[in-house]
């Protein structure tokens, strides 16, 4: 997976602000890891299925996920962050 540019949807930014400070720090760390190596095993990167099929998920913690879509030319847009409720 080629990652050239990462952008953040407004909903992602709002959800991130609503998370506890320690989880926000973990999101920043996970974001850095994703930028350095998008296929790092601890990210548990996978494409979603069903109605969310164009989206991808990666793990921040065992309960917290970051959701993104791949746009043109290696651009990634993070759309959501939170617990498993974000899949609904």
pLDDT in tens, 21-64: 999 999 999 999 999 999 999 999 999 999 899 999 999 999 99
- Give the span between the Cα atoms of 24 and 18, in whole angstroms: 9
pLDDT digits (tens, 9 = 90+) for 72-86: 888 999 999 999 777
Q: What is the pTM of this model?
A: 0.90
- Give the model's pLDDT for residue 87: 64
Q: Between 3 and 20, whose confidence is greater?
A: 20
81's tokens: 């962050």
Alpha helix stretches (DSSP H) within the chain: 10-18, 21-36
Asked if pLDDT for residue 88 goes beyond 80, the answer is no
Is 5-87 CATH 3.90.1150.10?
no
């Amino acid at each position: 997976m080629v990652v050239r540019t990462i952008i953040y949807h407004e909903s992602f930014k709002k959800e991130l602000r609503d998370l506890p400070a320690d989880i926000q720090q973990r999101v920043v760390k996970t974001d850095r890891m994703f930028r350095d190596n998008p296929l790092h095993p601890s990210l548990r990167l996978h494409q979603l299925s069903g109605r969310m099929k164009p989206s991808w998920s990666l793990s921040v913690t065992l309960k917290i996920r970051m959701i993104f879509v791949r746009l043109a030319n290696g651009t990634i847009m993070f759309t959501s962050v939170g617990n498993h409720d974000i899949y609904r």
